Structure 1
Amino acid sequence: MRILFASSEVAPFIKTGGLADVAGSLPKALAQEGHDVKVILPLYEGIGEQWRSQMKFEQYYNVTLSWRHVYCGVFSLEQDGVTYWFVDNEYYFKRWQLYGHFDDCERFAYFSRAVIETPGHFGWAPDIIHCNDWQTALVPVYMLEERYHVPELANTKTVFTIHNIEYQGRYGDQVLEDVIGLDRSYLNEGMLGYYKDVNLMKGAIMASNFVTTVSPTYAQELRLPFYAHGLAGVINEQSGKLQGILNGIDTQLYDPAATSGLAANFSARSLVKGKAECKLALQRAVGLEENADVPIIACISRLVGHKGFSLVTDALHEIMAMNVQMVVLGTGDWQYEAAFREAQVQYPGRFSAQITYSAPLSTAIYAGADLFLMPSVSEPCGLSQMIAMRYGTVPVVRETGGLKDTVTPYNKFEGTGRGFTFSDINTHDMVWVLREAVDLYFNNKKAWRGIQKEDMTADFSWNSSARQYLEIYQRILGW
């Protein structure tokens, strides 16, 4: 099977969030199944020289975007059985950040046109084009007409994955003809029209052959207005072609037995000593009192409302009244940053506010902390809880999206479960389960070690998810 995976960011080349992790891992898993997989992404300024030096210039041509004929260069790089196509246009992609520019609609309409036109210039006919989030949402829409103009696309089917429905690519209707290059019928007949605006994600949901999202629970939540951000009606109308498939993680990358830079490597069999050394190293690194016996509660996240940080800031004094330490790593809304900085002053040696982002420090936190707190209001899948579990750090999560699908609640009667959960968006419920977790940590080490080993040996690889995607591809191709 020939699969073209289109994404606005791909790890390890460029990353701002979980989309890059998925786009970096899923194609590799598909290639390992013996398929011809190519990934196409923009050649951003932020892609480093270590990758540029390995790229090969392939060709250039002009992309047609409305009345424009715009330069498009293609560089390639092969890694782990996958061919990566980098779309070069410095006007659109030589920017200081990936998103948030005044012309994002035009930038990613251009990229979507490049996704459509590039296969023909290589004489390569994809069976599937797999698109991701609003930045590539125009690809299925363009395909409605372009499959009749480009021979290589005649039999191509499209799959669209919603990683986070909160970001939909919504613009005023003036972009339709001049920027996107489509006539008014796409607005008037409802393909892209959304309260008199243009909604790119809506168009992808309507036009694609199949729609997936990143966890089974999130797929069900999207039927509800609370989670769907205005698209519940569209989701329910198109629900016959919607399926939730849980994301995986790169289990080789997140392996405590092999991760470089840790104070000690460890596995489920050598958990106690290695984890203790990582804990002391973390305490030294972030200014916490060195104490092997006190549990560390960790948060690694963007500090924003939908991640549930209002629950955390409202309950900070209750949490710190327990015999615990806490470390928070991330940046975001000013009120959360300020609250955590103040907590560091109020609880010296017990609370650490790391208002930054550091990949090495995040790894040290995953390895050294005891509890990982994710009280998200909405969490399509979440990768952090799976990474934390790989390092024997027990999650405390709200039952939403992928958090519900990956963290089974601890059952003290049967001795089963992967962590501690609560369902309501409620500070008191969160504090209650945190107390349960801390109590188990202090008073039942055998049960605590059992949860850690269950977490560390759980299968969070892409193997099962990749097979589910392949089944969808085969189904819509009629194979």
Structure 2
Amino acid sequence: MKILYVTSEAVPFCKTGGLADVAGSLPPALAEQGAEVAVVLPLYQRVRERFGNELKFECYDYVDLAWRHNYCGLFSLEKDGVTWYFLDNEQYFNRGSLYGQADDGERFAFFSRAVVRMLDHFKFWPEVVHCNDWQSALVPIYLKDDGVREDRYRSIKTVVTIHNIEYQGRYNPYVLGELFGLDAGWAKDGTMLLDGDANLLKGAILCADAVNAVSPTYANELKMPYFAHRMEGIMRQCSNKLSGVLNGIDMKLYDPRTDGRILKNFSLEDMEGKDACKAELQRMVGLREEPHTPIVAMVSRLVSHKGLDLICEVLHDMMELPMQLVVLGTGDQRYEDFFGWAAQQYPGRMSVRMDYNEDLSMAIYAGADLFLMPSKSEPCGLSQMIAMRYGTVPIVRETGGLKDTVQPCESWRDAGNGFSFANYSSGDMLHVIREAVYLYKDYPDVFGRLRQRAMSCDFSWARSAREYLRIYATITGQTWPIHSDTRRALEVSEGEAAPAEEPVPTEEPAPVVEAAPAEEPVPAVEAAPAEEPAPAEEPAPAEEPAPVAEAAPAEEPAPVVEAAPAEEPAPAEEPAPAEEPAPVEEPAPAPEKPAKKTRKTASKTASKADKAEKKTEKKSTSKKGTAGKKKSAE
């Protein structure tokens, strides 16, 4: 399967948020599953500066965008089994920042138009084009628009991933032709029109063959007004092609056993390094070096939807607990001012750093005990996965990917991998924080097992890649081959199941049917219990040995053993094999009386000849019964 992944940022080339982590990890994971993958992104200034010597110039072409006719260069780089393409235009991309420019609409319209125009110059014609967020939302629209004139574009299927629906790419509808080179009909028919604006993300959702969110819970939340930012109607309309695939993390990069960015490595088997990392973190941020006091940490943008209002409401109650608090991040001025003031109120117990430092963030992940994420909304979230990887137990609100990755602790049965609360309430958050702190302090063994379960979670991209390949196969109509490990497992299970099922119909049915034994017990064993279950079944085993010993044991002794336990498993088998003749002889006269009663009840319908035969059998049995039973016992 040939997949072209379109993104505006990707690790390690350029990054501003979680999209870069996804775009840097998912394509290599898809390639490991056997797909042929290429990624295309703009050639930013920072990419040119860091990787310019490694890039290979492929070719150049000109891209028409409305009335513009602009140069576009194509560079490539082979890495991790993936071909990385970079589209070059210094006018649009040779700038200090990736986003936040006044002409962002034109810049990423050119990028999307160039992706379609440069398809001929890539090493393969894609079967699937996978786009991400509004920056590449025009690609499915351009493919639909060009597909009207050229058949080859119709064969390409498109997927759109929504990382955060808050950012939609909204512009004045009157600039569709001037800015994006599209006919006004795209707005007039409602495809790209929402609340009076030309909405790029809406157009991509309607035009794409599949739409997915970055977690299953977030996919459901997008149908609700609270989370969808005026797009809930569109998401419900497209629910038949909407799915949620949970993001992953790079398990090799974030590995406490080998990570060189932390002070001392540790693992599930040896947690000594975790204590060393905690002591180092306390020294780095100016906290008191108290090894038995839990550190609660936050690494986050200081913005409203991260749930910081809840912390502001109950911070003083939190600091009354036997805990330390460390906060790392930047954001809105009001939150920076509040946390800066709060840190002064609790010296040695609270530390705040108003910046983003990669080394310090890794020291926090490795050294903290609890990781707080009370988000109002969180499409997926990667911080909680990284924290768990390093044995830092998360405390989260149940929303988006946080709900999908963190299962609440149930200490009474050693279940869960973190702590969570459902309502967006400072009181609920404080209650869970208190629970986590005192579990750490009072029940270290229970907390240690909780930490181990968190570290054992599988957040690898291999799992997510298989889900994406399933989506690709669905929209292309292909039967994607099963992964080799899965195929081997299926072959083994099928190979074991087949021989187990074949002998059942060939060997066992013969003795189970039991033609001869099934007929012999019918007149004595089955007829009597039909009328008197209790008394008729008990003497039956005593009468069976005589006829069975002569006919059935001579041919098939096994069915005789099976016939007896079929009616009375325990008592029927014990008297039959018993070697003591006394107990066998004593019940002999007893069964004659109930046998007479049985024959009397049956004489109403039976013939006189039958009665005579039965009386004859009785006399012969009474005379020769002792000798016959002794022989059968021997």
Normalised to the residue count of structure 1, the TM-score between the two structures is 0.98
Hey, what does 1:348 align to over in structure 2?
Answer: 347
Q: Distance in 1 between matches of 2:290 and 2:36?
A: 52
Letter in structure 1 aligned against 2:175: V
Larger fraction in helix = 2
Hey, what does 1:277 align to over in structure 2?
Answer: 276
Matching of residues 33-52 of structure 1 within 5 Å: 33-47=33-47, 49-52=49-52
Letter in structure 1 aligned against 2:130: H
Judge which range, 282-291 or 397-406, deviates more. 282-291
Quick check: 2:159–2:209 contact (8 Å CA) kept in 1? yes
* Deviation of the 1:147 alpha carbon: 3.2
* Deviation of the 1:64 alpha carbon: 1.2
Q: Distance in 2 between matches of 1:377 and 1:438?
A: 22
Name which one, 1 or 2, has greater alpha-carbon Rg. 2
Q: Distance in 1 between matches of 2:324 and 2:58?
A: 53
Hey, what does 2:98 align to over in structure 1?
Answer: 98
* Deviation of the 1:171 alpha carbon: 1.1
Measured against aligned partners, the alpha-carbon deviations of 1:37-92 in whole angstroms (never above 9, x if no partner) come to 00000111122634221111111111111111111111111110001001111111
Quick check: 1:288–1:350 contact (8 Å CA) kept in 2? yes
Judge which range, 391-400 or 281-290, deviates more. 281-290
Quick check: 1:5–1:40 contact (8 Å CA) kept in 2? yes
Q: Distance in 2 between matches of 1:121 and 1:29?
A: 24
Hey, what does 1:10 align to over in structure 2?
Answer: 10
Q: Distance in 1 between matches of 2:449 and 2:114?
A: 51
Quick check: 1:123–1:152 contact (8 Å CA) kept in 2? no
| SS in structure 2 of the partner of residue 315 of structure 1 | helix
Quick check: 1:13–1:48 contact (8 Å CA) kept in 2? no
Quick check: 1:294–1:324 contact (8 Å CA) kept in 2? yes
| SS in structure 1 of the partner of residue 371 of structure 2 | strand
Quick check: 2:143–2:154 contact (8 Å CA) kept in 1? no
Q: Distance in 1 between matches of 2:453 and 2:123?
A: 48
Letter in structure 2 aligned against 1:110: F
Hey, what does 2:460 align to over in structure 1?
Answer: 461
Quick check: 2:221–2:227 contact (8 Å CA) kept in 1? yes
Hey, what does 2:475 align to over in structure 1?
Answer: 476
| SS in structure 1 of the partner of residue 46 of structure 2 | coil
Quick check: 1:120–1:152 contact (8 Å CA) kept in 2? no
Letter in structure 2 aligned against 1:336: Y
Quick check: 1:164–1:380 contact (8 Å CA) kept in 2? yes
Hey, what does 1:29 align to over in structure 2?
Answer: 29
Judge which range, 343-352 or 226-235, deviates more. 343-352
How many residues are paired up?
478
| SS in structure 1 of the partner of residue 298 of structure 2 | strand
Quick check: 1:27–1:39 contact (8 Å CA) kept in 2? yes
Change (3 A) 1:24 1:152: farther
Hey, what does 1:108 align to over in structure 2?
Answer: 108
Letter in structure 2 aligned against 1:399: E
* Deviation of the 1:395 alpha carbon: 0.2
Measured against aligned partners, the alpha-carbon deviations of 1:345-374 in whole angstroms (never above 9, x if no partner) come to 111111111100011111110000000000
Letter in structure 1 aligned against 2:77: L
Quick check: 2:144–2:154 contact (8 Å CA) kept in 1? no
| SS in structure 1 of the partner of residue 292 of structure 2 | coil
Quick check: 2:371–2:387 contact (8 Å CA) kept in 1? yes
Q: Distance in 1 between matches of 2:206 and 2:153?
A: 19
Hey, what does 1:188 align to over in structure 2?
Answer: 188
* Deviation of the 1:430 alpha carbon: 0.4
Q: Distance in 1 between matches of 2:169 and 2:143?
A: 18
Q: Structure 1: which 5+ residue stretches go unaligned?
A: none
Matching of residues 3-402 of structure 1 within 5 Å: 3-47=3-47, 49-122=49-122, 124-149=124-149, 153-271=153-271, 273-402=272-401
Change (3 A) 1:4 1:150: farther
* Deviation of the 1:412 alpha carbon: 2.2
* Deviation of the 1:154 alpha carbon: 3.8
Letter in structure 2 aligned against 1:89: N
Identity %: 54
Q: Distance in 1 between matches of 2:129 and 2:315?
A: 46
Q: Distance in 2 between matches of 1:229 and 1:18?
A: 20
Q: Distance in 1 between matches of 2:425 and 2:112?
A: 41
Letter in structure 1 aligned against 2:393: V
Q: Distance in 1 between matches of 2:224 and 2:89?
A: 40
| SS in structure 2 of the partner of residue 352 of structure 1 | strand
* Deviation of the 1:222 alpha carbon: 0.6
Q: Distance in 2 between matches of 1:466 and 1:193?
A: 33
| SS in structure 2 of the partner of residue 47 of structure 1 | helix
Q: Distance in 1 between matches of 2:438 and 2:353?
A: 26
Hey, what does 2:582 align to over in structure 1?
Answer: none
Q: Distance in 2 between matches of 1:49 and 1:91?
A: 16
* Deviation of the 1:289 alpha carbon: 1.2
Change (3 A) 1:80 1:152: farther
* Deviation of the 1:148 alpha carbon: 5.0
* Deviation of the 1:121 alpha carbon: 2.5
Q: Distance in 2 between matches of 1:48 and 1:411?
A: 51
* Deviation of the 1:161 alpha carbon: 0.2
* Deviation of the 1:149 alpha carbon: 4.9
> Once superposed, what is the RMSD of the aligned Cα atoms?
1.1
Higher relative contact order (CA 8 A, sep 6+): 1
Measured against aligned partners, the alpha-carbon deviations of 1:119-177 in whole angstroms (never above 9, x if no partner) come to 11236210000000000011111110223556653411000000000111111113211
Letter in structure 2 aligned against 1:56: K
Quick check: 1:212–1:242 contact (8 Å CA) kept in 2? yes
Q: Distance in 2 between matches of 1:235 and 1:212?
A: 10
| SS in structure 1 of the partner of residue 279 of structure 2 | helix
Quick check: 1:77–1:84 contact (8 Å CA) kept in 2? yes
Hey, what does 1:446 align to over in structure 2?
Answer: 445
Q: Distance in 2 between matches of 1:410 and 1:150?
A: 57
Hey, what does 2:594 align to over in structure 1?
Answer: none
Hey, what does 1:412 align to over in structure 2?
Answer: 411
Q: Distance in 1 between matches of 2:363 and 2:149?
A: 52
Hey, what does 2:420 align to over in structure 1?
Answer: 421
Q: Distance in 1 between matches of 2:286 and 2:254?
A: 25
Measured against aligned partners, the alpha-carbon deviations of 1:435-465 in whole angstroms (never above 9, x if no partner) come to 0000100011111111111111110001111
Q: Distance in 2 between matches of 1:299 and 1:204?
A: 35
Q: Distance in 2 between matches of 1:10 and 1:150?
A: 31
Structure 1 runs (4+) deviating above 6 angstroms are none
Measured against aligned partners, the alpha-carbon deviations of 1:148-207 in whole angstroms (never above 9, x if no partner) come to 556653411000000000111111113211001101110010110012211111011100
